[in-house]
Homo-oligomer: A and B are copies of this chain.
Amino acid sequence: MQPKTSQEQRHQQRKDEIIAAARRRFRASGFHAASMSQIALEAQLSVGQIYRYFASKDAIIEEMIRRIIDYRIAEMENKTETSHLPEALAWRHSLSPDDDALMLEMAAEATRNPQVQAMMIEADARMFENACNYMQSRHPHLSAERIRCCVELLAALMEGTTLRRLTPQKCDPTQLQLLYQEITTMLFADK
């Protein structure tokens, strides 16, 4: 790979700044209410400058979601085993509460905006296939269909836990962790 020219580096840095500004605006008022001019103001750029990097607000949302999913996939692949899952679920650990909030915002917006729904469908498909490959490599004795069901179940649990995190924990996490341990043991047992 050629080293990046300083112009390419500046371009990349400017895009990063716009994404960071957009994240702050989306967190403050949601995708729907945040305007390109608010994002420009937040990034200390003109609206015209923003459009040189992103054709629309949807393009910013798309890039932001792509980065969140890339990060999640990288984090998943950094884990060498699935044994951390019961603890992470029971104690409601989060990679990034800010990313979680933006993904919830995406879900809410997806229910009324077909473009955002399409982004969500693509992001979920990418995450799901990566998780299946990861799980299959770690549990080669399970059938591909069993792996898909396990990934679907774990996805539901992880996404549900993201929602549950918004309200106080109402049971003993130590006990809950044992319950999740029973479930993951059952899921990945030799059959």
Q: Chain A: interface secondary structure?
A: helix
Residue of chain B at shortest CB distance from A98: B111
Question: Could you say which of B160, B169, B176, B186 contacts A182, with CB atoms under 8 Å apart?
Answer: B186
Min Cβ gap A53→B in Å is 25
CB of A1 closer than 8 Å to a CB of B: no
* A101-127 interface bits toward B, Cβ cutoff 8 Å, 1 = contact, 0 = none: 100110111111000010011001100
CA distance A29 to B117 in the complex (A): 15
Give the number of copies in the complex: 2
Question: Could you say which of B150, B156, B167 contacts A120, with CB atoms under 8 Å apart?
Answer: B167
* Interface size of A as a range: 35 or more
CB of A146 closer than 8 Å to a CB of B: yes
CB of A38 closer than 8 Å to a CB of B: no
CB of A153 within 8 A of CB of B125, answer no
CB of A146 within 8 A of CB of B175, answer yes
CB of B121 within 8 A of CB of A89, answer no
CB of B183 within 8 A of CB of A170, answer no
Chain B residues whose C-beta falls within 8 Å of the C-beta of A120 in the assembled complex: 166-167
Residue of chain B at shortest CB distance from A155: B164
CB of B149 within 8 A of CB of A159, answer no
CB of A27 closer than 8 Å to a CB of B: yes
Question: Could you say which of B112, B158, B169, B179 contacts A160, with CB atoms under 8 Å apart?
Answer: B158
- A108 and B117 in contact (CB under 8 A), knowing A160-B163, A164-B155? no
What are 16 inter-chain pairs, A to B, with CB distance below 8 A? A29-B112, A30-B30, A30-B33, A101-B108, A104-B104, A105-B111, A108-B109, A120-B166, A121-B168, A124-B167, A148-B172, A153-B157, A156-B156, A156-B160, A157-B157, A179-B187
10 tightest A-B CB contacts, nearest first? A160-B160, A156-B160, A148-B171, A124-B167, A101-B111, A108-B108, A159-B160, A33-B33, A159-B163, A30-B32
